[in-house]
Amino acid sequence: MTQNVVVITGAGRGLGLGLAHRFAQSSQHVVIAERDAVLGETAVATLHADGLAASFVALDVRDPAQSRALVSKVARDLGSIGVWINNAGVSHLGPAETLPQADWDDSVATMVSGTFYCCQAAGQHMLAQGRGVIINIASVTGLLHEHGRVAYSTAKAGVIALTEALGIEWASRGVRVVGIAPGVIETEMVRQTEANGHGTRAAWERRTPMRRLGTIEEIAEAALYLSSNDASYIVGETLRVDGGWTAYQLF
Amino acid sequence: MQLKDQIVIVTGAGRGIGLAIAEGMGREGARVVIGELILDRGEDAAAQLRASGFDAVAIQLDITQPASCRAIVERVRHDFGRLDVLVNNAGLFALHKSEDMPEEAWRLQIDVMLNGTFFMTQAAAQIMIPQHSGSIVSIASIGGMGGWPMRSAYNAAKAAVINLTETLAGEWAQYGIRVNAVSPGVTRTEMMADLIRRGISADKYANRTPIGRVAEVEEIASAVCFLASNRASYITGENLRVDGGWVPWANMNALGFPETE
C-alpha cells in the first residue's frame, strides 16, 4: 500500500469538507480527521455518494496522543501520508477585557497547540519518508485585527509564525510547510458570526475590494496548488486568498 | 489547460524567468506575446515556443518608454482584440556599493523595474478596464522584502513594485482586474551565472536557502501561471514568496558583505 493519503483536520463541515472534496476529486484518498463523529461519518458518506475515496478517523487536535495515534493508524491501514491540512479551528469572539479564560485557552489549545501537535505527528512520518506537504489554514484576521477577536486573531498569527518556523526547519528534508490565509469566506462559521452580532455580510463585502465573500472552492484550489509539485520551491509562506482584503489596508 | 486562448504579454521574456513564464503560459494554452528590448532575442524565444507547439510572437518593447508600452498594447489590441494577462518581468540587476553607485545606474534600475512596471501596467489597464477583466502579475523579489547590501536600487525598486501591487489591487478590483506579485528567491538564470563569473560560489546561495538549493526557472513560472489563471480567482494584492524559505530564516551563517567585489 503506497497510496498517498491526504489528512484534513476539522473536515466534518465547512472549509474542511470543501478541502476534502477537492482533494478527493483529484484522485486522492482523504482522511476526515474530525472531533465530532456524527459530522465525520456524514462527511464520509457524502464523499462516497459522489464516488470519492474517503474515511473517517476521530481526532481532537488538542491531544497530541490522538494525532500520533491517527498517523500510525492511517500509515498502517491506508498508506503513506502525502498531504496534511491543519484546518481545525474554533471561533470564540467577544470583548478582550471580559473574554473568558476558557475561550482564550480553547483558542490557543486548538489552533496553536493543536496545529503544532498535528505538524509534529505528521512531520515525523513525512521526515522519515523524505517527502510530504503540510498546509496550515490561518486567516487574514491574524494579519489585520478587528475588535472582539483577540483570541482568534492571535492564535491565527501564531499559526502563520508556526508555518515559517517549521517551513525553514524541515525544507531541506523533503517536507514543505506552507499556509493559506483566507479572507471572509462563505461558510457556516461566518454565518454564525453574523448571527451572533459580530459583523454583517454587507460590511464584509464593502470592505473587500472584490465586493464579495470568497468561496470554499477558491480556498480549496489554492490548497491543491500549494500541495502540488508545481509549488516545490514554496516554503514557509502563507498565501493570502482574500479578495484584496489585506492589500486594501491603509485606507 | 488553465489559460486556453488567453492573450498574454510577458515583458523581458527573451530568457531566464521571463522565457520560462512564456513557456508555462504556452503550455496552458495561451497565445503569448513576448515583449523584448532586444528584438532578436525575443524572436528567438518566440520561435522556440512555436517549435514546442505553442502560439507565440515577439514585439519590440522598451519598458523605459511609456510610449513603447502603449504601442505594444495597441498592437495587441489590433492583432487580437483583447488582453487577458500581463506579466511584468523585465528587469536588470547590478551590484554597487551605495556610496559609489553612479547616478545612471540608480536611475536605470528604478526606471526599468519601477517606472517600467507602472507604465506597462497602466497601458494594459486601458484595455482591461473596458473589458472588465484582466490579470496582472509582476515579478518582484525577496530583495524587495528586506535590506541586502550592495543592491540598494534593485531592492528599492522591487519593494516599490510589491507596494504598487497592493495599491492597484485595491483600485482595480472593481473592474474585475486582479493584480499580484511573485517574489522569487535566488534562481538559476543568466543573472545568477553573471554573479558566479564574478567570483561568488553557487553553493553560497544554496547554503543560505533552507531548502538547500537555488530555484529553477520553472518553479517561478508555475507560481506566475497559477496567479494569472482563474484558479486564483479570489487572490489579489498578494505577493507570493517563492524562495525555498529564504526570507523567514534568521540564518546565523550570513552570506557576508560584500557579496562580491
Q: What residues does each domain of chain B span?
A: 7-242
Give Cα B145 distance to the centre of its chain: 15
Task: Encode pLDDT of B13-60 as tens digits.
Answer: 999 999 999 999 999 999 999 999 999 999 999 999 999 999 999 999
- Our CA-based measurement puts residue A247 at a distance from the nearest CA of chain B, in whole angstroms, of 5
**SS3 of residue B18 by DSSP:** helix
Specify which residues B34 forms β-bridges with: B10, B58
Domains and CATH numbers, chain A: 5-241 (3.40.50.720)
Q: Which of B210, B215, B237 sits opposite A244 (nearest CB)?
A: B237
Q: pTM score, two decimals?
A: 0.96
> Is A117 labeled as catalytic in the residue annotation?
no
Decide which of B192 and B184 is more confident: B184
For chain A, give the mean pLDDT.
96
Active-site pick, A117, A152, A225, A248 = A152
For residue B254, is pLDDT > 80? no
- Our CA-based measurement puts residue A50 at a distance from the nearest CA of chain B, in whole angstroms, of 22
Q: What's the confidence (pLDDT) of residue B44? A: 97
Q: Which of B215, B236, B247 sits opposite A210 (nearest CB)?
A: B236
Q: What's the confidence (pLDDT) of residue B202? A: 80
Q: Which CATH number applies to B7-242?
A: 3.40.50.720
Q: Judge: B212–A211 Cβ closer than 8 Å, yes or no.
A: no
Q: What's the confidence (pLDDT) of residue B249? A: 95
For residue B260, is pLDDT > 70? no
For chain B, give the mean pLDDT.
95
Residues of chain A with pLDDT under 70: 1-3
Q: What's the confidence (pLDDT) of residue A1? A: 45
Q: What's the confidence (pLDDT) of residue A63? A: 98
- Our CA-based measurement puts residue B227 at a distance from the nearest CA of chain A, in whole angstroms, of 10
Q: Judge: A233–B241 Cβ closer than 8 Å, yes or no.
A: no
For residue B27, which residues of chain A lie inside 8 Å, CB to CB?
none
Give the number of beta-carbon pairs within 8 Å between A and B: 115
The answer to whether residues A111 and A156 touch, using CB atoms and an 8 Å cutoff, is: yes
Q: What's the confidence (pLDDT) of residue B204? A: 86
Q: What's the confidence (pLDDT) of residue B199? A: 80
Task: Encode pLDDT of B62-108 as tens digits.
Answer: 999 999 999 999 999 999 999 999 999 999 988 899 999 999 999 99
